[in-house]
Amino acid sequence: MPKLKGKLDVDVGLLDYIAEEFDQLYRGLPRQIIHRDPNSSNIILAEDQWGVIDFELSEKNARIFDPCYAATAILSETYEDGNEALFLQWVEVLKEIMLGYDSVVRISDQEKEAVPYMILANQFVATAFFADKDKYAELYKINKKMTEWIVGNMDKVKII
C-alpha cells in the first residue's frame, strides 16, 4: 500500500480505509492450498478429462484468492478504458465465477463480503509492481485505471 500512495487517483484516506477493512475480513477467511495463478494456460485437456498444472506458486492462503485472481485476469484481458458497459459485463462474469465456486465450495458470508477487497488486493499488487518499471508503463496505466474503477465501484463488485 505505501508504494501506491501518490500512484493512484484515489483519496489516501479511502485507501487506508480499504486496507483496514480488508485486514479485518482477511483474518477470518478460511484457508486452503491455492494455486495462485489460475489461467487458461495452466489447464490441460485430453478427451473428456482435464487437469491443472504449474503449481510452483501454490501456498496456503484464503480460499477465495484463486477465483478472485481469475476474475481480475479476465478483466485485464478485456479492459477498454472508458467502456463502462464492458466493466459491468465483467462484474457479471465475476459474480458467475463466484456462484460457480459457491456451488462446489460453500462461500461464507464473510468470504462474500471480502470478494471486492480480494479483487482490489490483486489489483494493488499488480499496479504497485508495474508502477516504477518503464518497460511496463502501458501495463501500469491499464492496471491503474482498472484499480481506480474498482475502488470507485465497490458497491457494484459486491457479491452479497
Q: Give the distance from CA 157 to its chain's centroid.
A: 11
> Of 106, 129, 114, which is closest to residue 4 (Cα–Cα)?
129
Beta bridge partners of 52: 43
Where do the structural domains in the chain lie, given as residue ranges?
Answer: 2-34+63-157
Are 71 and 118 a contacting pair, CB within 8 Å? no
The count of C-alpha atoms lying within 13 angstroms of the C-alpha of 100, restricted to the half-sphere facing its C-beta, is: 11
Q: What is the pLDDT of residue 33?
A: 87
C-beta neighbour count of 24 within 10 angstroms: 12
pTM of the model: 0.87
Q: Would you say the C-alpha torsion 47, 50, 54, 56 has a positive or negative sign?
A: negative
Q: What is the pLDDT of residue 58?
A: 81
What is the percentage of the chain residues whose pLDDT exceeds 70? 100
Q: What is the pLDDT of residue 126?
A: 92
Q: What is the mean pLDDT of the chain?
A: 90
